[in-house]
Amino acid sequence: MPTLYDYLDSGNGYKIRLLMAHLEQPYRRVQLEIFHGASRTPEFLAKNPNGRIPTLELDDGTFLAESNAIMWYLAENTTYVPQDRLGRAQALQWMFFEQYSHEPYVATARSLIRHHAPDSPRRAEVPERQVKGHQALAVMEGHLARRSFFVNERYSIADIALYAYTHVAPEGGFDLSAYPNLLAWLGRVASQPRHIRITDTPMG
C-alpha cells in the first residue's frame, strides 16, 4: 500500500487524495506540519530533496514527487487520463498551466491569507497574486465557455489539477461570480462519483 506524505490544507495534496478516492486505491497518509518545517528535515529531504509535499512512497520504497506527476503515475491507463495522443498532451498542457500560471497566484494568495497575520509584511504580496490569479481564471472561463471539462469532454486528471485550488480560491479573496462557466464546471467536478472534499481524509 503506498504512503502519501501530505498536508490536509494543501490543494496539491488534495489532488492525490481525490484521485485515490476515484480509483478506490487504499493508502496510508502521513500528515507533515509543513508550516513548522516538517518538509525540510534531513529525514524528509532524504525522501524528496526538493522538500515538498505531496510525495508518494511506492511499495518498493521509491519516492515520487510533484502532484501532477504522481497523478499521472496513478491514473495512466485508466479513464482519468485521455486515451489519445493529442488528449494526453492537452491534459499535460493544462497541468503545466496549473503549476506555472495558476497555482503560484491562486494558491499562494490563499496561503498568504490563511497562514500570515493581517499585519504581516508578506500580506503585501496578495494584490499582485490576485491580479495574476484572475488572469488564469479568465483563461479557464474562456475555455469552459464551450466545454464541459478541460479535455475531450470527459473528466480527467486535468480537471482534478485545476479544481484543487480553484474551488477554494474564495479563501484567497477571489470572487468567482464573474466566471459562470467556471462555477458550473466546479459543480460538475463535485458531482463526480466518489468525490471527496479537501477536508476529507481517506477511509472516512
Q: Which part of the chain contacts a second copy (CB under 8 A), choosing from 81-89, 112-120, 125-133, 170-178? A: 81-89
With binding defined as CB under 8 A, does residue 66 bind a second copy? yes
Cell of 192: 463526480
With binding defined as CB under 8 A, does residue 181 bind a second copy? no
91 vs 198 by CB, closer to a second copy: 91
Give the 3-state secondary structure of residue 140.
helix
Cell of 116: 500570515
Number of Cβ within 10 Å of residue 14's Cβ equals 26
79 vs 201 by CB, closer to a second copy: 79
The residue type found at 132 is: K
Give the 3-state secondary structure of residue 32.
coil
Residues 86-115: x where in contact with a second copy by CB under 8 A, - otherwise, as a string:
x-xxx-xx-xxx-xxx-xx-----------
- Smallest distance, Å, CB 73 to a second copy? 4
- Smallest distance, Å, CB 167 to a second copy? 20
With binding defined as CB under 8 A, does residue 21 bind a second copy? no
**Is residue 112 a contact partner of residue 123, using CB atoms and an 8 Å limit?**
yes
Q: Cell 534531513 maps to which residue?
A: 42
